[in-house]
Amino acid sequence: MCTRKAALRFILVLLSLLLVLKFNVATEIEDELEELLAVDEEVEREADGGGEKLSEAEVLSKAQRIVIELNNDNTERVVNGNEFVLVLGYAPWCPRSAELMPHFAEAATSLRELRIPIVMAKLDADRYPKPASFLGVKGFPTLLLFVNGTSQPYSGGFTADDIVIWTRKKTGTPVIRISSVVEAEKFLRKYQKFVVGQFDKFEGTDYEEFVSAAKSDNEIQFVEVNQVELAKVLYPAIKPTGRFLGIVKSEPERYTAYGASVFDGAFTMNKILEFVDYNKFPLVTTLTEMNSDKVYASPVKLQVLVFANIDDFKILLDPLQDVARTFKSKIMFIYVAIDDENLAKPFLTLFGLEESKNPVIAAFNNGMSSKYLLESKPTQSNIENFCNNLVQGSLSPYFKSQPIPDNTEASVHVIVGKTFDDEILSSKKDVLLEVFTPWCINCETISKQVEKLAKHYKGSSNLMFARIDASANEHPNLQVNDYPTLLLYRADDKANPIKLSTKSGLKELAASINKYLKVKNVKDEL
């Protein structure tokens, strides 16, 4: 009997201790945050009382102090001890981490002012690999939202406003409701891009579809009103109807109404999201590291990219915007700084224009992996014709080519993209074509063999030897992925070239040529 009482007493003490520990964990986190903010609130009071206004650096410093620093000791405690935790996993040496850090800190300040119940935390995942593994941080930077200890990936934008909007939606506030003109004016000063919905009542099927769309969208703030007077503050051109939906952006094409485009019809979540996806970008979007994923994921498959320095782009901007209005929702127009090694060079290389300093206007059909190039002067008229042909599908795809060479004295002719038709496909001769790239390790050996073969068959009038640099030249009928490649085009069957082995010796290659061709006047010995 005494033993049983002692055991019960022990269990009660243990349960009490666990409850105290849990309470202390939550209290400790709250106290930690309050201590970090105490100095800032004092400074704010002094500023409000007539003191000097906080500098930009001081504001950033304050914001950064709101964000909890995770480490080996506190990571599990913070993540498991709060309902909502947004974690930034970063590395000090990562440029994108450095770019995101101030936006994350600014978002933390805004979320606190909005009284959103979320803990903002960051982890130097390079310094603390163990908690990084626990959280699931695999790259830099990584944003993860933990809801009661369970993570979900971040899928919003990367400015402070983007982070705030996404976080509010995921923590239970997908739509902001406005009830007065003062609130509407305050909202308008804060948000540069938003979706506004007007409803007679905040109920019914249409309203439910609107809220569902707001929850599903990860980027744009949705706002709702039930009075035309309030809606007009946000969207002045609104018509006095019982239901309205529109998107507002801070650019020349500022207002777009649902139903005023190709999206006439059912008022459903999917249609609303489609409308937003097709209209959320500016007339001309500037491509950056931060927005590149969103731009590439656009449902608008036709994209016109303008590569230029900033001064040339300023000259092109007005005519580009005029053209963009004409092709809105059909073509996405994107500006890329021409000297950007990461964003511009990969595209320009596809056209063989990586060294270009002048403006380049190119187009892509992402649905078909086709590319096009405006080869005339970039005037408004030429750009508009280029886009019109792109939409109609009558624009010829672009295949890059080096300048046409002089092959008068060459034993092995140099073929480029522009001469492939005439010298290979339309030629009445048999052609042995060597396909190479400058970075190919084994290409030099094959090139020497082709030179010797050309000399051996020099007296033949019906066989030509040629080579093409596949890194700088393209043709729709030349689809080669391995280098070097040897292709034998017979005069009577140019559509079906024969692939010869590049591992064969000189005599074996000659034997293969003799097997497929009737070569005349061969004199030199190999």
DSSP string for residues in 172-229: T--EEE--SHHHHHHHHHH-SSEEEEEESSS-SHHHHHHHHHHHH-SSSEEEEES-HH
Q: Does residue 49 form part of some domain?
A: no
Show which of 343, 363, 392 is a domain's final residue: 392
Query: 449: number of CA atoms within 13 Å, CB side?
Result: 22
pLDDT at 7: 39
**Which residues are 87's β-sheet partners?**
121, 144
- 466 and 370 fall within a common domain: no
pLDDT band at 253 (very low <50, low <70, confident <90, very high): confident
Q: Does residue 10 form part of some domain?
A: no
Amino acid at 210: F
Q: Rounded distance, CA 114 to CA 173, Å?
A: 11
pLDDT at 142: 95
pLDDT of residue 189 exceeding 50: yes
User: Which pLDDT tens digit goes with each residue over 482-509?
Assistant: 999 999 999 999 999 999 999 988 999 9
Catalytic residue among 25, 43, 94, 317: 94
- 123 and 99 fall within a common domain: yes
- 179 and 257 fall within a common domain: yes
Q: Does residue 45 form part of some domain?
A: no
- 271 and 294 fall within a common domain: no
Active site annotation includes 94: yes
Q: Does residue 17 form part of some domain?
A: no
Q: Does residue 438 form part of some domain?
A: yes
pLDDT of residue 61 exceeding 70: no
pLDDT at 3: 36
Catalytic residue among 440, 446, 470, 509: 440
Q: Does residue 9 form part of some domain?
A: no
pLDDT of residue 27 exceeding 70: no
| Total number of domains in the chain | 4
- 516 and 427 fall within a common domain: yes
pLDDT of residue 13 exceeding 80: no
- 276 and 339 fall within a common domain: no
Q: Does residue 6 form part of some domain?
A: no
- 62 and 164 fall within a common domain: yes
Q: Are 180 and 227 in contact (CB under 8 A)?
A: no
Q: Phi and psi at residue 302, in whole multiples of 5°?
A: -85, 120
pLDDT at 2: 37
SS3 245: strand
Active site annotation includes 2: no
pLDDT at 65: 63
- 443 and 498 fall within a common domain: yes
- 126 and 189 fall within a common domain: no
- 499 and 419 fall within a common domain: yes
- 188 and 254 fall within a common domain: yes
Q: How many CB atoms lie within 10 A of CB 158?
A: 22
Show which of 255, 280, 305 is a domain's final residue: 280
Nearest C-alpha neighbor of 176 from the set 104, 87, 116: 116
Domain extent, residue 332, equals 284-392
Show which of 337, 363, 392 is a domain's final residue: 392
CATH number (domain holding residue 362) = 3.40.30.10
Range name among 33-47, 125-139, 506-520 with the lowest pLDDT average: 33-47
Using CA atoms, how far residue 324 sits from 252, 296, 333, 376, 393, in Å, is: 11, 18, 7, 19, 18
**Mean of the per-residue pLDDT values of the chain:** 85
- 149 and 133 fall within a common domain: yes
User: Which pLDDT tens digit goes with each residue over 89-141?
Assistant: 999 999 999 999 999 999 999 999 988 999 999 999 999 999 999 999 999 99
Q: Does residue 292 form part of some domain?
A: yes
Catalytic residue among 248, 323, 443, 446: 443
